[in-house]
Structure 1
Amino acid sequence: MIIKKFTGKNEEDATALAKKELGNSVVIMNVKTLKKGGLFGIFKAPQVEVTAAVEEVNDGNVSNNNPVTIPQHLPKPFAAQLQNTEASPEKDILRSARPARRVEDWKKSDIIQDDKEEGNKEKTRDEKAIEEKLDSIHTMIEQQMKRETRIAEEKQKHEDQDGEETEEPEEDDEITKFLKLIRKTLLDNDVEEEYVDEVMDEASKLRKPGISIDYMLSSIYQKLILKFGQTDRIEKENDLAEIIFFLGPTGVGKTTTIAKIASRLCVQQKKRVALITTDTYRVKAADQLRTYADILNIPFKIVYVLDDMKAAVEELKNFDFILVDTAGHSPKNDERIETQRQFIDVAKEVLKIKVYLVLSVTTKYRDLLNIAENYSRMVRYQLIFTKLDETTSLGNMLNLKLRTGSAVAYITNGQDVPEDIEVFNPQNIVRVLLGGKEVI
């Protein structure tokens, strides 16, 4: 894996630079705004820095016998643990853009590279946040391992007191206990077993004598983030309008989600936005969206038939974004699915389209698969997960992303408009999946 930072006048420019150098499969790991210090910095526009990562193709020519270089800035305990670690292609998964440093040399805060710009050696808030996340997960894992060890010892003691003949169990080393606990934690968070086993197999390949739990945890954390991949949020790509459809079953919060996104586009990004609804089955849904349109002072159209859709899109094609609410229905209702497909086909004759499938994270995984499969027959889509405030098990987000290959764009965590929506940040979700405290 290669990790590198890119700077631009905004996030889009910085991301474009990352894609140009590392390829379109690049994953944006972190975004932060850089402000110039000093008096003259007041008059300069801030820049945006993105930290990008991409999987590195192993050409098989890397020697396994290269000594590990221990940088002086590493804490002594961590450096000591790395002293006996041999370099290998498998462990070279977090290679920095600076070739002198190998993955074994990274500390937890280096998952997001150190910010040393203009001689400022203090950690940025983003770096501190990442380190705190890993620290809290590590502390939780250590406590859990101690509890399980104590329980096992007490059980063995009781068996010995009862006079039962028992074979002395082979003692697991700390890394084995750690991997077992990580596996259990992911399963408890409803990550499908096949994906858990995949992560565990990848992590097991990194095992070498003297390797630290810190390093293993950092590697698993990084691998899970990369499995979530890129985020596909709504952003202006050119001067042409874009029409965005929001699909999904009844009751997942499509209309409220559209209102949140419309509010952010209008108020924060100063974009020209229009709203359309094809949901003529529920009067309240249309009234709700009309109310939001009135508050934002933006156009609102109700579409009943295909000709209405074509006319509405033609009328609104000079806007930046046209957001379309659709009727929720059972995934078994082929007639309504076909109607929605026809609306989409009419719209894309005039404008570029994007489609988001809105799903509640509280829905059972089997039902999510059924819904996703039915909509995939109609159109390609990206994912929005709602109701994260109503559950602590977020494994279905990773399951569905890996099953469908669709990017996760947004998450919502409440009913308030426009506050309770965020661009998807895989770091926060992975932290929860690994047993950390909720940060959503």
Structure 2
Amino acid sequence: MIVKKYVVQDIKEAFEKIRMELGKDAVILSTRKVKKGGVLGIGAKVFIEVTAAVEEKKLPQPEEKGQIYKLQEILSKSKQPQQSEDITELKKMMLELKSMISTQRINEPAWVESFRKALLKQDMDEEIAEKLTEYAKVKYSQLDFSSENTRLIISEMLLPFINTNVPELKGKVLLVGPTGVGKTTTLAKLAAKLKINDHKRVAIITLDTYRIAAVDQLKTYAMLLDVPIRVAYTPKEAKLEIEALSDFDTILIDSAGRSQKNELHMTEIKAMAEVVQPDLCFLVVGMQYRKEDVRDIVQKFSTVNPTHVILSKLDETSAYGHFVNVPNFLKVPIAFVTNGQRVPDDIFEANNRELALLLAKEVLKHAKSGQ
């Protein structure tokens, strides 16, 4: 049997090279992703390593479904795009091949798989988890999960993926986000910080008139902090109130929670942001959300052009993968993290090293247990 490996950019290129060099009777034995260049996976290019073989003497070979594909069969189907059933079958085969590329692990040490699983256990994006795993494989011959020093090693690996920045809270500061993430409480915490700690002149405007309780809650906080509060029922009213409060250092603007799955809601929130024209726009994202939901949220709310992210409800989860997911999905930094309901205590400024250590602690725990 003749066995050859090919490093290519896509499967189509592999097929062409295999057919040219090994002939139409060649079979694909294995595929896997490989990365070249970059640091910590950043800037690295992804290639596919394909191992193919052909018998020197043509003997009938059993085909193992899902792992070995006859090159001749795939190529013959690719030449008949007019037949929908053939196209469907080809797509199915390609999807199976793609799945094999992403899941096949060849001769990996046990600690590598434990590390990968621990990252994914934190609900980390698969692509980022794979970058970190590949880097660990290249950089270290072994990670000792029983050593506390490994936590520092893992945290250093995480740093390039955790983007944080704490801006000066001045001018018009708008908070947006889906329902139930704690925007109103978060706004009250920011107001207290500015008023009590920073001695700033603060005012509050709320457009969350859909929930009477939210308005009453903010009025209570405003009274305790001795800051003015205005209620606006439309974006135009908000604009007028902003003009009236222009002498204040900071105007915190609370918006109604909006479902990212409702196109009308997204249109409304975008129109509101265009009228208000905030100096800072914080997207508040709940840490308790699943990765798929977070991806959807940041994609839909990106139309509002958030400048920063606030991660809320850290106390309601032990999965910290969103420390890397959110800034990489949205391409904006994390500014604050909230971890409880107490005003003004349960909020802290985001620091990438502190967040990396928190995440590394959970990763190490799961890697050590092998779960």
Q: TM-score range by the shorter chain?
A: 0.5 to 0.7
Return the offset for 1:298.
0.6
Is structure 2 residue 210 aligned with structure 1 residue 281? yes
What is the alpha-carbon distance in structure 2 between the residues aligned to residue 274 and residue 244 of structure 1?
Answer: 10
Deviation at 1:303, TM superposition (A): 0.9
Q: Which residue of 1 aligns with 2:119?
A: 186
Q: Distance in 2 between matches of 1:345 and 1:364?
A: 29
TM-score, normalization by structure 1: 0.54
Q: Tell me what 1:291 maps to.
A: 220
Distance 2:298 2:181 in 1: 14
Residue correspondence of structure 1 range 117-128 to structure 2 within 5 A: none
CA distance in 2, matches of 1:204, 1:218: 17
Write the letter of the residue equivalent to 1:270.
H
Are 1:368 and 2:294 counterparts? yes
User: Matches of residues 140-151 of structure 1 in structure 2 within 5 Å?
Assistant: none
Q: Counterpart in 1 of 2:155?
A: 221
Distance 1:409 1:92, change over 3 A: closer
| Correspondence for 1:30 | none
Partner residue in 1 for 2:308: 382
1:410 alignment counterpart: 336
Return the letter of the residue paired with 1:378.
V
TM-fit CA distance, 1:258: 0.6
Identity %: 32
Does the Cα contact within 8 Å between 1:203 and 1:216 map onto a contact in 2? no
Q: Deviations over 1:40-68 (max 9, x none)?
A: xxxxxxxxxxxxxxxxxxxxxxxxxxxxx
Structure 1 residues 407 and 234, CA gap change in structure 2 (3 angstroms): same
Distance 1:299 1:435, change over 3 A: same
Name the counterpart of 2:246.
317
Name the SS of the counterpart of 2:203 in structure 1: strand
Matches within 5 A, 1:278-357: 278-348=207-277, 353-357=279-283
Q: Is the alpha carbon distance of 1:193 and 1:303 closer, same or farther for their aligned partners in structure 2, counting shifts above 3 Å?
A: same
AA of the residue aligned to 2:204: L
Alignment correspondent of 1:232: 165
* Contact 2:176-2:283 at 8 Å conserved across structures: yes
The structural deviation recorded for 1:340 is 2.4
How far did 1:332 drift?
A: 2.5
| Cα distance in 1 between the residues matched to 2:283 and 2:40 | 36
Q: Which runs of 5 or more structure 2 residues have no equivalent in the other structure? A: 1-36, 42-105, 367-371
* Offset of residue 347 of structure 1: 2.4
Which residue of structure 1 lines up, in the alignment, with residue 323 of structure 2? 397
**Displacement of 1:406 after TM fit?**
2.0
**Cα RMSD for the two superposed structures:** 3.0
Displacement of 1:232: 2.6
**1:423 Cα shift?**
1.2
Q: Secondary structure at 2:336's aligned position in 1?
A: strand
Contact 2:151–2:357 (CA<8 Å) still a contact in 1? no
For residue 396 of structure 1, report the CA deviation from its aligned partner: 3.0
Aligned residues of 2:116 and 2:133 also touching (Cα < 8 A): yes
| Alignment partners' CA distance in 1, 2:194 and 2:173 | 13
**Per-residue deviation, 1:280:** 1.2
Q: Say if 2:364 is the partner of 1:430.
A: no
In structure 1, C-alpha distance between the alignment counterparts of 2:308 and 2:327, rounded to whole Å: 9
* CA-CA distance at 1:171 after TM superposition: 10
d(CA) in 1 for partners of 2:39, 2:264: 52
The separation in 1 between residues aligned to 2:358 and 2:150, in whole angstroms, is 18
Q: Distance in 1 between matches of 2:334 and 2:133?
A: 23
Relative to the length of structure 2, the TM-score reads 0.63
Report 1 or 2 for greater relative contact order, CA contacts < 8 Å, sequence distance ≥ 6: 2
Aligned AA (2:137): S
CA 1:395/1:90 → structure 2, altered by over 3 Å: closer, same or farther? closer
Q: Name 2:137's counterpart in structure 1.
A: 204
